[in-house]
Structure 1
Amino acid sequence: MTVTDKDTGTNIAEIADGIFRINTPIPPSAFPGGFSFNQYLILDDEPLLFHTGPRALLAPITDAIAAVMPIEKLRHVAFSHVEADECGTLNQLLALAPQAQPLCGQIAAMVSIGDLADRPPIALHDGETRSLGRHRVRWLDAPHLPHGWECGYLFEETSATLLCGDLFTQPGIGADPLTGGDILGPSDAFRRQMEYFSHSPQTASLLAKLAATRPQRLACMHGSAWEGDGAAMLDSLRQSLGH
């Protein structure tokens, strides 16, 4: 792990071959118990960033990207759903990377990004794949899981990494870039404090669809990324949600 901004503590670490977690810790003095914002950079012929971070973190996040590649080479700016920490700096990143385009699901493109973004989005259908070079990502629609009609996830097939957004939001600063320990317990406890799951009728079937990819890593937006039996972890989440 390399700290790329001393003021914020923003750091970058490789969690799989060519996949980097960018982490900005939010200290307990600013958020009770601490918190974190993560982005994931896939380094390839067509580099992809998943999550942009909120506008206040643009400078430290772009500095972290610059530690491993020139920011202007970024080609895809992707996210799970429309929210400030997911795509708040989308247009600023597009300005810094003239060949980059937003990459999202069909619903996000239709209801928001086609209008909000300064460049037309690449809108993927459920199950559609896109090659980045050595890596291939697959879009998985997941409406209202945990929230947002347009919600969906990217599965990186080569490394079996599921970019799983808010599903396993953990409190704390996410000090470990990658863990094999318990993330469900802390994320469940946090969810019960701030109930952000929609609990739609499709929750169980959508979690089963994600589990069917048999991920070996879960790239969480808040907290540590996780490695292990991802299908079992997603099924445990289903049971914990009461579905």
Structure 2
Amino acid sequence: MTNITEIAPDTFRLSIYAPDLDMQFNHFLVRDEQPLLFHAGMKGMFPMLREAVSSLIDPARLRYVAWSHFESDEVGGLNHWLESAPDAEPVCTFAGKVVSVDDYAIKPARGMMPNDVLSTGKYRFRLHPTPHLPHGWDAGLLFEETEKTLFCSDLFHHFGDAPAVTSDDLIEPSLAAMRQMQQGPLAFYMPYTPQTDTLLTGLSELQPQTLALMHGSSHSGASGKMLKDLAGAIQSVFAQP
């Protein structure tokens, strides 16, 4: 079952809960003249996601498929989307394009640089490079400048079948998830690097009004301070002495 919620104007959260992992996998469709999907999802989730997308748009109209970093829950189903939508184009950071995507995907990716703008009609997007935040040197976060929605990937990850949207602070549930991960076989899954504070401060200065999370509730409301506070949370769990 895929739960569909409009979390910002024309931006829909398509959420699939995996009970065995106690975790939501969230994908975001922007319905516009040239529709955009953020997170292609895993291959096995494609039929469910396609059905959810088809309740909002004709999937063949999909124009862009974007993500943060090369990982199965973000790009696993990419080629299925590219086969379903003849005009669809992969969108990622330039590093992601040249390192992984152009070899993996059936179409070359649009590798976005920091000053590039992608317009879908009413909405304008920039892909901000965020190497190793949340994971991988190819990572970047997509920001929609009109409604100020930040597509966060794994930032603020928290467990549970959470409400679609919250206005509560996300630091505590995110800290709980990081501590849980740090005790298991995937310890240090979110590195703390010399760039972490600077990158999160830069994202906070965008003054997002909606945070679209890959795992957990999306956040509605001003979140600049919360993004700054996240740096300290990551440091407290993952920084080496």
TM-score category, normalised to shorter length? over 0.9
RMSD: 1.1
Deviation, 1:181, is: 1.4
Mapped partners of 2:197, 2:80: distance in 1? 36
1:197-236 correspondence to structure 2 within 5 Å: 197-236=190-229
Amino acid of the structure 1 residue aligned with 2:195: Q
- Secondary structure of 1:162's aligned partner: strand
Mapped partners of 1:229, 1:235: distance in 2? 12
User: Which whole-Å deviations, capped at 9, do the CAs of 1:103-160 have from their partners, x for residues lacking one?
Assistant: 0110000100111110111110024211110011111000001210000010011111
Mapped partners of 1:242, 1:93: distance in 2? 37
State the TM-score, normalizing by the size of structure 2: 0.93
Mapped partners of 1:173, 1:26: distance in 2? 9
- Paired residues, what number? 230
Amino acid of the structure 1 residue aligned with 2:32: D
- Using the TM superposition, name which of 37-46 and 224-233 deviates more: 224-233
- Secondary structure of 1:241's aligned partner: helix
1:24 matched to which residue of 2?
16
Choose the corresponding residue for 1:178, options 165, 168, 175: 165
Cα distance change on mapping 1:127 and 1:164 into 2, 3 Å:
farther
Choose the corresponding residue for 1:63, options 47, 51, 62: 51
Amino acid of the structure 2 residue aligned with 1:201: P
2:232 matches 1:239: yes
Whether the 8 Å contact between 1:145 and 1:151 is mirrored in structure 2 is yes
Amino acid of the structure 2 residue aligned with 1:211: S
2:185 matched to which residue of 1?
none
1:39-50 correspondence to structure 2 within 5 Å: 39-50=27-38
Deviation, 1:241, is: 2.5
Whether the 8 Å contact between 1:146 and 1:199 is mirrored in structure 2 is no
Cα distance change on mapping 1:70 and 1:38 into 2, 3 Å:
same
Q: Tell me, which stretches of 5 or more residues in structure 2 are unaligned?
A: 182-187, 237-241
- Secondary structure of 2:92's aligned partner: strand
Deviation, 1:197, is: 1.1
- Using the TM superposition, name which of 82-91 and 230-239 deviates more: 230-239
Shift >6 Å, 4+ stretches: none
2:108 matches 1:120: yes
Mapped partners of 1:145, 1:111: distance in 2? 17
